[in-house]
Structure 1
Amino acid sequence: MLHPVGDLPAGVYWRRRALVLGIAASLLGGGGWLVASTVPTTETDPQVAASSGPAQPSLEAPSLEQVVPSLASVQTPAAPEEGSATASAAPPAEETAAAPVTAAAPDPGQPCTDDMVAVDVLPGAPQATVGSKPTMTLVVTNVSGVPCTRSLDAGLREIVLLDGAGARVWGSNDCFPEVSSDARVLAAGEAVGFPLQWGGLTSEPACTAPRSAPPAGAYSLQGRLDTKVGDPTPFTLVA
């Protein structure tokens, strides 16, 4: 190789060899630069290495929004307006009136005392003819404001005829006494009537004395229920 052999002078062959070597050297240099540019270097920028490395957990404290839930979804009732139904629905405790205490219903089994009843005689007419048989009614009324019970037995009811001086002339139980058991509950203000026909003659208790027609004049009728005696009612006998 160092001593080229050929027909041409030796200088020619040396120039050819130098040209080939130069081309080869250029090719080798360019190839090496290309390879170096494509192969990553092992020394990298610290900032690049930090950003490309695996993510490290953050040690910073969580923000307040992450710890305390948002209050946007919490609905706070609005204060009622003055005079609204909500504001006036519940009055202050000191202004609340106490519930009325219902009084116990009256016991209808309580007895009717003499002060609780009235006894009256209602004649069919304010006057009657001597010797006639007029009709009259004994009326018992509960004048109290509560119901009560009173015995209205026939033996306890009586109508008497009194003359102008107040002397007894006739009694409904003298000659024809009746016996019955009649306990009743009288409502407040209730009145019960018992009609009776008078025979037109005088009488005495036990009906032992002779009977006769009383003369014409001014009389009064008076009712009685056991121990309760009513007020007299004017009555006139005419001839």
Structure 2
Amino acid sequence: MLEPNGPLPPEIYWRRRALAIGAAVVVLALIVWIVLSIGGGDDDSESTAAAATSELTESSEPPATSESADPSETSNAGSSSTTTSASSTTAANPSKDCADQSLALKVTPDQPQYKAGEEPGFTIAITNIGTNACERDLGSGLQQVLVYSLDGANRLWSNVDCFPSSEPEVRTLEPGGQARFTVKWSAKTSAPGCTAPREAVAPGGYTVVGQLGSLKSSPEPFNIA
């Protein structure tokens, strides 16, 4: 470095040079700091923008719902949706027989009086008086129409004595639902197995009773003139 040259003492010139160099260093440091600050700010802004973009992308995806579950769960019997489906199916397709106490049985003559030689007709109605749908075999071999004397002491005829039928006829009865059947009687006597001679009944009063298993209807009167 050149020696200071001037009218003043050399110490003065050295101090001025030191101050100038120090000022230059401070200015340079300030410039470097500003440049680094600007560069770092850009990085922070980019990082902030990237984070915001990432959050927006993640939140834009719809949340998972029960419909997006594994399809096999929909078809498995153990799933809740299938449970609901199974209940409906059970209501529409009952799995138990109609108990006697859930049925009402009624038989009525088609008319209150018949002429001699006419074949009386009867209608038997089976009604589900329970609160649930149920099944019952109503085959003609199980449902009977029986004719008794007016006092009920003598059994005169049954539709299954001479014409038994073993063919099942399973019916589904909804609550309040009814099954109806009609039967004709030749106005002749009969015995179980059709083992006794059949004779025409005399004019007079009679009663008819319906039976399904152990369930019986109330007797209904009619006349043959």
TM-score by length of 1: 0.54
CA distance in 2, matches of 1:230, 1:189: 17
Distance verdict in 2 for CA 1:142–1:113, change over 3 Å: same
Q: Tell me the residue number matched to 1:10.
A: none
Structure of greater Rg: 1
Specify the alignment match of 2:96 in structure 1.
110
Question: Of residues 159, 168, 174 in structure 1, which corresponds to 2:145?
Answer: 159
Q: In structure 2, which of residues 189, 192, 195 is the aligned counterpart of residue 205 of structure 1? A: 192
User: How far, CA to CA, are the matches of 1:229 and 1:162 in structure 2?
Assistant: 13
User: How many residues are matched?
Assistant: 161
> What residue is the counterpart of 1:228 in the other structure?
215
| Counterpart for residue 64 of structure 1 | none
1:145 deviation in Å? 1.9
| Structure 1 residue matching 2:119: 3-state secondary structure | coil
The answer to whether 1:127 aligns with 2:99 is no
Deviation at 1:237, TM superposition (A): 0.8
Taking the aligned partners of 2:117 and 2:145, their CA distance within structure 1 comes to 18
Partner of 2:24: 53
Contact 2:157–2:190 (Cα < 8 Å) also in 1: yes
8 Å CA contact 1:203, 1:209 repeated in 2: yes
* Counterparts in 2 of 1:198 and 1:57: CA distance versus 1, 3 Å: same
- Distance in 1, matches of 2:130 and 2:116, equals 39
Correspondence 1:1-80 to 2 at 5 A: 49=20, 53-54=24-25, 55=27, 57=29
TM-score (ref. length: structure 2): 0.57
Q: What percentage of aligned pairs have identical amino acids?
A: 29
Q: Deviations over 1:67-103 (max 9, x none)?
A: xx9xxxxxxxxxxxxxxxxxxxxxxxxxxxxxxx969
User: Aligned partners of 1:191 and 1:202: how far apart in 2?
Assistant: 30
Stretches of structure 1 lacking an aligned partner (at least 5 in a row):
1-41, 59-68, 70-100
In 2: Cα distance, 1:176 partner to 1:53 partner: 130
Q: Which protein has the bigger helix share?
A: 2
